[in-house]
Amino acid sequence: MLYAPPKSSMRLSRPPPLRNLRAFCIAARHCSFKIAADELFLTPSAVSHQMKELEETLGVRLFERKTRALELTTAGHTLRDEVAPLLDALERSLAQFTRRHRRKNLRMLLPPFFASELLVPRLATFCAAHPDIDIQIDTSDPHPRSHPPTSDVSVLLAAEPPHGMNAAKLFSLRLAAVCAREKAADVMRLGREVFRETALIVHRPRPFAWASWAQEVGLDAPEPKNIIELDSMFAVVRAAERGLGVALVPTALCSAWFETGALVRIFPIELALSDAYFLVTRPRDAEKPEVMALTDWALEEFRSLER
C-alpha cells in the first residue's frame, strides 16, 4: 500500500508569487481592486489579473465579483486571516534585516580617562550627525600603546605617530598642578613649602613628572611629606578631589573638574610634555566612510585643545 501524506504536509506544485498574495491582502482589506491598485501603483486590471492568477493557482474562488461591489468568499476570508499576519511579519523581518545590514559599525579603542572625560561627553554631536553609525568603545587597556586588529580607530598617547599607521594628531599633553577646593587656601598659604606639608599624588606611568614640573616652574625637586602612587589617571584625579594631596593632571581632560571647582590649579604654569594624543587607523581602514566621518569630527572637535 502506498503511503499518502496528510493534507497538512502537502505542498503546492507551483506556489503563488508573493506579489499576488500581497495584492490579495490589500484588495481583501478594502474589498476593492481600485484601492489596492492605488496602493501598489498598478492599474485595477493588473490587480484583477493577479487575483485570477492566484485563484487558479489555489484552485478556489476568493472573491464574489458583483456589478457594484467586491466581496470575499468564505475561502477568501480564511486566506486573508491566515496570510496577512505572515506577510506583515515577513515585511518587518526584511525591514529589520535591511536596516541592520545598511548600518555601519565603528569599533574604537580608547584610554579610559580620555573616553570618560573627553570623548563620551562630546559624542552626542557625532551621533546626531551620523545616526547610521553604531559605536563600540573598548577601554579595557588603561594605557594602550598600539592599534589592535580588533579596532577600526584607536586613540593613543605617544611621543610620535605609530609607524605604518594613519595617524592624526589631536592635541599635546599638558599637566597642571591641582588640589581639592577645600585645600586650596592652605596650599596658597604654604606656597613653595606646600610639598613639605602635603602628600604628593603620583601617576605610576609618569614617576618623574613632578621633577620635570618643578624644573619648569623653577623649584627644587619636591621632597613631599609622603607619596601616594596610583596606576590610573582617574584614581589620581579622585584622590586630589578628596583632598589627599596635590596632583599633576592633564588640563585638556580635566576641564569639567575645573569648571565645577572640584579641582583648583595651585600654580599657573603647566608642564608641556612631548606626548600627544593621536587618532590612529590602519591605512586600509582610513577610507571607510565611518572612519572618515569620525576623523573629521574629532579633528574639528578637539582642535581648540591644541595650544
pLDDT in tens, 46-84: 999 999 999 999 999 999 988 888 999 999 999 999 999
Which of residues 49, 80, 101 is at a domain's end? 101
Q: How far apart are alpha carbons 276 and 237 in whole angstroms?
A: 20
Going by C-alpha positions, the residue among 174, 182, 271 that lies closest to residue 219 is 271
In a domain, 191, yes or no: yes
Same-domain status, 142 and 227: yes
Residues 152 and 222 placed together within one structural domain of the fold: yes
Q: Identify whether the C-beta of residue 148 lies closer than 8 Å to the C-beta of residue 109.
A: yes
DSSP category for residue 254: -
pLDDT tens sequence across 249-303: 999 999 999 999 999 998 888 999 999 999 999 999 999 999 999 999 999 999 9
Please check whether residues 46 and 162 belong to one and the same domain: no
Among 74, 101, 128, give the residue marking a domain's end.
101
Asked if residue 122 and residue 82 are part of one domain, the reply reads: no
Same-domain status, 83 and 169: no
Q: How far is CA 103 from CA 98, 200, 282, 289, in A?
A: 9, 49, 21, 11
* Residue pointed to by grid coordinates 625637586: 221
Point out which residues pair with 155 in neighbouring strands.
279
In a domain, 110, yes or no: yes
Domain boundary among the residues 39, 71, 101 is at 101
Query: What is the C-alpha to C-alpha distance for residues 11 and 122, in angstroms, rounded to an integer?
Result: 58
174 and 285 belong to one structural domain: yes
Please state, in angstroms and rounded to a whole number, the distance separating the CA atoms of residues 293 and 140.
24
Residues 273 and 174 both lie in one domain: yes
User: What pLDDT, in 10s, does the model give residues 91-141?
Assistant: 888 777 766 666 789 999 999 999 999 999 999 999 999 998 999 999 998
The reply to whether 132 and 268 lie within a common domain is yes
Q: Dihedral sign, CA of 141, 147, 153, 157? A: positive
CATH of the domain at 33: 1.10.10.10
* pTM, entire model: 0.67
User: How many domains in the chain?
Assistant: 2
- Beta-carbon contacts of 282 under 8 Å, excluding residues fewer than 6 positions away, are 147, 165, 166
Q: Decide if 253 is inside a domain.
A: yes
Q: Do 93 and 221 belong together in one domain?
A: no
Q: Is 28 a domain residue?
A: yes
Q: Say if residue 118 is in the same domain as residue 97.
A: no
What range does the domain containing 37 cover?
Answer: 15-101
